[in-house]
Chains A and B, each alone.
Chain A
Amino acid sequence: MGFLKNIFGGHAAVQQLPTGTITVDRQGRIVTSTVSSAFPKNLLQDIGRDVLGLFREARTAQMPLAEVSLHYGSLRITARELRGGAIIFLLPQTALFPTPTPARP
């Protein structure tokens, strides 16, 4: 695997938005990921760490949250608290076809 990278080069000129799902444990380490391996690992870890930070600080503010969604112009990050860790959905948005909210469990 990865031979295409040897032929065409490893990195695209423009950073692609991440698509897929990751799960992080309570320390912010990535446990599973369906995001393309071309997407920088450190950025995925940043997402995990920041999302856990949001959950943690909400708990401190006496407002524990089970789900948090960050809506950006071109990306939506939806995270569900999972026993101290989180499952995080990364959904790129287009203006004409915004992705629907994932169904609640």
Chain B
Amino acid sequence: MDTRHKILILDDDADWLALCRELLAALPSRPEILTANNAKRALALLETEKIRLLISDLKMPRIDGLQMISIVRRRFPETRTVVLSGLEDEEYRARAYALGVDLFWLKSEMQRNAQLFNECLESLLGQSDRDSDTGFRGLQSKSLMDIIQMESLSRSSTVLRVTRGPLVAKLWIQDGELIDAETEGARGEVAFYRLLAWKTGTFENLPAEPDRERTIHKPVNALLLESAQSLDETANPSLEPESVESNLHRKTMWKLSQLTREGAEFVIAVPLAGQGEPEALGTQNFSAFAQWTQRAVALARRLGDRLEAGPLSHVAGQNAERQVVLLARGDRAFLVGWPAEAEDNVPEKSRKLVASWDS
């Protein structure tokens, strides 16, 4: 009896399908590769073949990838799903994970990190074998602490990749023990505490890296306890005034260090609804900038609505001395100033700064 797994690749690009077929056929478990260039054909194959793993693109005509994943999760719950997309947008990543996909991978990353991608696929195929009759899927709305505790209790070995907008963090767990953490230039316990302050995000399991150098030696529970204590102290308004002041000072210092590390000149946070005062770091005379920020967001949004151009991503401006990036997030807008000679990708760096500022 043939025990080879079947992988179905769905993409409307014939060249990409051919490339994937070639790459995946070389996986160590030698899976059988099927391809479909539209959702209708893919669904027909899912009906007739026992597909272990579906790899789907997102941007396709008629039925797009997200719709397809939604259908497959409902009608073929035993099929593992992987999104392989060219859309470098965190919103799509979050939506795909909310639908319950097992893995979201960028096409560009797949080509750069082919070996890691293959290991992830092998791991998913292996899990399909083991868990075909047992186990639950569809973990949603759990706090990061819960997820880490679960990994720890089950003594598993994995790399947890956590994403919050443009921010990315990784936790290395070996036999249930947290051995390393990394996020935005920080490593070890510092990175772990910073990560636990994130309120929302998505996570994915990557294959374990047993050779990772150990930087964290405390037990997971001790770290979680310390972190919970520290978060409580920041959030609890009944604390002594000195303690609140000290927390505020710590927070300000941390924001300043972020600003310096990224190389930005200033950040101004402006409430859009007119409630509250603007908050600024790195500049003294910010009221005029804050006023421009408020007006520019209102004007840009109004113009976007009239043109039906979609949501406002950001406004960028520059002169001989500096560059500015304006981002609107919920009820606040942020104006980030950069030196004129700052490298490109300033909008992305601004997004990261604002996301960490907000966490």
Partner-B contacts on A (CB < 8 A): 15, 17-18, 43, 46-47, 50, 53-54, 57-58, 60-75, 77, 95-96
Contacts and interface: CB of A to CB of B under 8 A. Distances in A.
B317 A65 contact: yes
Given A72-B304, A75-B309, A61 B315 contact: no
Given A17-B307, A50-B300, A96-B59, 18 more contacts: A15-B308, A43-B307, A46-B306, A47-B303, A50-B299, A53-B299, A54-B317, A58-B292, A61-B289, A64-B319, A69-B317, A72-B307, A72-B309, A72-B311, A75-B307, A75-B309, A95-B89, A96-B86
Interface string B270-306: 0000000000000001001101100110011011101
Contacts of A54: 296, 299-300, 315, 317
B303 to A, nearest CB: 5
A56 to B, nearest CB: 10
Contacts of B307: 15, 17-18, 43, 47, 72, 75
A72 B310 contact: yes
Interface of A is mostly: mixed
A53 B315 CA distance: 14
Contacts of B89: 95
5 contacts: A50-B302, A63-B319, A64-B319, A67-B319, A95-B86
Contacts of A17: 307-309
B313 interface: yes
B320 interface: yes
Contacts of A62: 285, 288
A10 to B, nearest CB: 19
A50 to B, nearest CB: 5
B318 A67 contact: yes
A70 B315 contact: yes
B318 A73 contact: no
Interface residues of B, number: 33
Interface of B: 59, 86-87, 89, 285, 288-289, 291-292, 295-296, 299-300, 302-304, 306-320, 324, 347
Contacts of B314: 71
A66 B316 CA distance: 11
Nearest to A74: B310
A43 B309 CA distance: 12
A69 B318 CA distance: 9
B291 A95 contact: no
Contact of B315 (A18, A47, A69, A73): A69
A15 B304 CA distance: 13
Contacts of B319: 63-67
B288 A67 contact: no
B314 to A, nearest CB: 5
A57 B310 contact: no
Contacts of A69: 315-317
B212 to A, nearest CB: 35
Given A18-B307, A46-B303, A96-B59, A71 B292 contact: no
Contacts of A67: 317-319
Given A43-B306, A43-B307, A71 B299 contact: no
B315 A68 contact: yes
Contact of A60 (B288, B312, B316, B317): B288
